[in-house]
Amino acid sequence: MNKVNEVKSFGGRQLRFEHQSKVLNCAMQFSVFLPPQAEHQAVPALYWLSGLTCTDENFSSKAGAQRVAAELGIALIIPDTSPRGDEVPDDPDGAYDFGKGAGFYVNATQAPWQQHYQMYDYIVDELPALLEQHLPLTSQRSISGHSMGGHGALVIALRNPERYQSVSAFAPISHPSQCPWGKKALRGYLGEDAQSWAEYDAVQLLQQYKHCPPLLVDQGSADNFLAEQLLPETLAQALQLLPKDAVAELRYQAGYDHSYYFIASFIADHLRFHGQYLNR
């Protein structure tokens, strides 16, 4: 881990690192906010997965999450959205919704993507192991994300409930096997086998497993991707399959769109939600 930037924020430190990822076969950058409590003890971490076209810097500079994270004593871990570098293949047509900036948090199996696009393993295994070795972090983790990152957060938590204390999402791509963004990405990275797609579809995972860590989802009613891409109504139906005592809430926020104005408006709610479980 090579530190490339550090600034003071709410008594803590906002950092940016670079490292060589063995899983992704390329150099990767990621951002970390360490709250002031990390100067004296190890702290739990919230992993934030960003959406299409984003890097690790969108959330760290736009969401305003550091103030409440500092209050709660929670580190923020903010990975990039895909592998990067000249050797990493990109969408041949330059489309924004596939290739660089659009890793969809899957392990690609199709050429030429499989050599680098192993974002699922990177987020679940490689990055936490690296950070918990070198930074003052406990093994207590929660996960959240926005849009494509909301999809990633839900899928990763549903497939690994023992690794995450809680999960949340803003405007997630809930049912990617049934929307244009998801179909393009899953077909490109995984091929035509629909069974392999199901492992990266939150609605299908809920239908299959009928359990999840404590969950909170916010969706803006004025989101221009609501009907075609996000399909929150299918997530709401799947959440009905959970046991009666499950902690799982999908909230519609009237008038909010898909932007970071929406995220900044409710990020404190999400941090306090995770804090209930991370600080037990």
Set 80, 144, 223, 274: catalytic member: 223
> Annotated catalytic, 21?
no
Centre a 10 Å sphere on the Cβ of residue 132 and count the other Cβ atoms it contains: 15
Set 147, 166, 168, 174: catalytic member: 147
Q: What CA–CA distances, in Å, run from 125 to 72, 74, 82, 186, 194? A: 25, 20, 15, 21, 25
Query: Is the Cβ–Cβ distance between 232 and 250 less than 8 Å?
Result: yes
> Annotated catalytic, 151?
no
> Annotated catalytic, 201?
no
Set 146, 151, 258, 270: catalytic member: 258
Q: In what order do the strands lie in the sheet with 248-253?
A: 2-9, 12-21, 26-34, 75-78, 43-49, 137-145, 167-170, 215-220, 248-253
Residues 6+ apart with CB under 8 A from 137: 38, 42, 43, 44, 45, 75, 131
3-state secondary structure of 12: strand
Q: Which residues are catalytic?
A: 147, 223, 258
